[in-house]
Amino acid sequence: MRSDAIKKGLGRAPHRSLLKAMGYTNEEISRPLIGIGHAQNEIIPGHIHLDKILEAVKTGVRMAGGTPISFGTIGVCDGIAMNHMGMKYSLASREVIADSVEIMAQAHPFDALVLIPNCDKVTPGMLMAMLRVNIPAIMVSGGPMLTGRFQGKDVHLVSVFEGVGRVKANTMTPEELDELEDAACPGCGSCAGMFTANSMNCLTEAIGLGLPGNGTIPAVSAARIRLAKQAGMKVMELLEKNIMPRDIATKEAFENAMAVDMALGCSTNTVLHVPAIAHEAGVDLTLDLFNKVSEKAPHLCSLIPGGPHSLQQLNEAGGVPAVMNELLKLESCLHSDVITATGKTLGENLKGKDSRDSEIIRPTDNPYHRQGGIAVLYGNLAPDGAVVKQSAVADEMLTHAGPARIFDSEEAAQSAILGGKINPGDVIVIRYCGPKGGPGMPEMLSPTSAIIGMGLGKSVALITDGRFSGGTQGACLGHISPEAAVGGPIALVKEGDKISINIPEKEIRLEVDEDELEQRRKMWQPREANITTGYVARYARQVTSGSTGAVLKEE
């Protein structure tokens, strides 16, 4: 066993002594040592209950003959970090999470790992580490939050963000917003809706590194505790069979996950995280592949925020297995022979997993959209690509052209939107917010929610070299690459320039003569970094483009 390096032989008496200092017995030390990485803390609603998931995983490991040993990682709540300095640290935290799990797993040679994340950067960060370390491992998330209820409707965190704009537009009173604030987030779990956290937890299941139900069983459900116990038992089986994460996370498995991404209408952040995770597995996923998969995999589920249905309803309808079973009916849409964390192939897992509700999970011959939920656009404004959640765009905004309204920060754009300075037809440009320029590629949930709240969602587009929350809806194009901080074309746009967006044709253009752009390019000067010390300053120096998953340079 891998852990023999710290427990076998005469020379390891000091190591055993340290283990015994914590109360471990000889019997426990002789068993496989299973590292359980978790992100429990008291600042993230999705993590507040992970201590209970941890105890359930420990129970499962012990039931199957292993010795569980837990350790913690950091986590950032994107909602709390939104629209202030904290958002510069959010995406950057993914790399720290991956590094910390790697450090713990290598410094203390566990025989296998169970990783317990929830929320936006923790799930991809832990998956990156899992594939980097490549010992038998499985992931079990904390599960999604239930929706709240307000004035007879389902509500969630984004409802509150949009409520700020509604108060400004005089379509909601401050007193109603207070009431909504109390109702929108009713308890623990990753925020209700197909936002980034739930997107990544569903895609973990689709890749095959989590058990069926990982993405959709509610956080408060007893089934979530049972799933955690099953994960603890299953990792012992993976250890016995010597099944490694990279045996599961093949290119075919990632293509399966991308198909599920399209069918569910997941967050655009998946276009950052899935390639970054694949990078750790030695699998190259280009942005073009997302469009190719989108052409094959239709949009089958209309989930919050772009649609009416919740994660709880998706779970009741059969969850990710039922979605994959529908996709399996399409030729060349899924690879059914890949191995999964169950120890069985995907095809074996999906037998009998039919949809229980044809409106929540539509059949492939009656999808919500013929193409998948995400599109990658190209053009002279985004030579390396831009990403949009096309399933959450109103039909009248699928094509749009209008004058550019230029803002070099999220705060300036937010002030203009709430101040009534944005007109129907405008294209808001928020730049110098990319991986380097942000730094950290901050999310734009506040301005996009303000656009919706102010009643501009069907008349105004927003583009940025930053990124969007999974809670974003509307004609919002992110990850514009190259970013402004490295002199990308978005840095050359001037107030009033015409920008044309054609989502069906996958095109975004700046309608300015190339000679004029060349003159602007010669005049452009790099900006000074807005943070020069500390972690995010180092991150800004090492991070690559959003088009490559914003992974760090390998020196």
What amino acid positions are annotated as catalytic residues? Answer: 469
Residue 496: how many other CB atoms lie within 10 Å: 9
The amino acid at residue 335 is H
Which ranges of 242-284 does DSSP label H, i.e. alpha helix? 245-248, 251-264, 270-280
Q: What is the 3-state secondary structure (H, E, C) of 53-91?
A: HHHHHHHHHHHCCCEEEEEECCCCCHHHHCCCHHHHHHH
> Which candidate, 450, 449, 441, 500, places its Cα nearest to that of 95?
441
Question: Is the Cβ–Cβ distance between 362 and 327 less than 8 Å?
Answer: no
Check residue 302 and give left, alpha or beta (phi > 0: left; psi -120 to 50: alpha). Answer: beta
> Which candidate, 78, 161, 193, places its Cα nearest to that of 124?
78
Q: Describe the strand order of the beta sheet including 137-139 as a list of residue ranges.
A: 67-72, 33-38, 112-116, 137-139
The helix/strand/coil state of 110 is coil
The amino acid at residue 53 is I
Q: Exposed (0-12), middle (13-18) or buried (19+): which is 246, by Cβ within 10 Å?
A: middle
CA 227 to chain CA centroid, Å, is 21
> Which candidate, 199, 176, 189, 116, places its Cα nearest to that of 147?
189
Check residue 335 and give left, alpha or beta (phi > 0: left; psi -120 to 50: alpha). Answer: beta
Q: How many residues does the chain have?
A: 555
- The sign of the CA dihedral 446, 448, 452, 455 is positive
